[in-house]
Structure 1
Amino acid sequence: MIIDTNVQPHFRYNAEVRRYLPEPHKLRAIPDVERQWYQAPGGDYRQDLYGDSYPGSDPETVGRHLFEDMGVDYAF
């Protein structure tokens, strides 16, 4: 059995998270999706994970990579 305990979904675009915030927090600064504070040298994601959207932002693509391509049984 394979369990991936480090699945990190991402926003499709910067304003997406604001839909889920309470009103007082909607106007606060939120870091851009494309601008990581602590980015690894060469980028945080494999180049083949970039498609029509930001890596981790499309649930169907994430599911395919995890469950079909990598054989993961459970993901958190």
Structure 2
Amino acid sequence: MDTTYFAQQAIVSMMVHLVFFAVTFWALLALNLEKLLKKNRVVQARLLYVLLTISIGSLVSSFFLDYLSWSQSLVHLLP
């Protein structure tokens, strides 16, 4: 395969991950986690938001990229 194809795949994957990180962070802002966290733990709360964003965003973007790859592979089923 051509190296250009791999470079394009890498760029698409990076962009998809970043988009889903942003969407996940935006969605997490709707939660009221302050009630669950201890007072005066601002840095730890922010770190928790970042870690949740990365973990949930990675799962969703990996699923999206896998699904995209699977749908592109369906072309090989046709004669």
- Tell me the TM-score normalized by structure 2: 0.28
Which of 1 and 2 has greater Rg? 2
Higher relative contact order (CA closer than 8 Å, sequence separation 6+): 1
Richer in strand (by share): 1
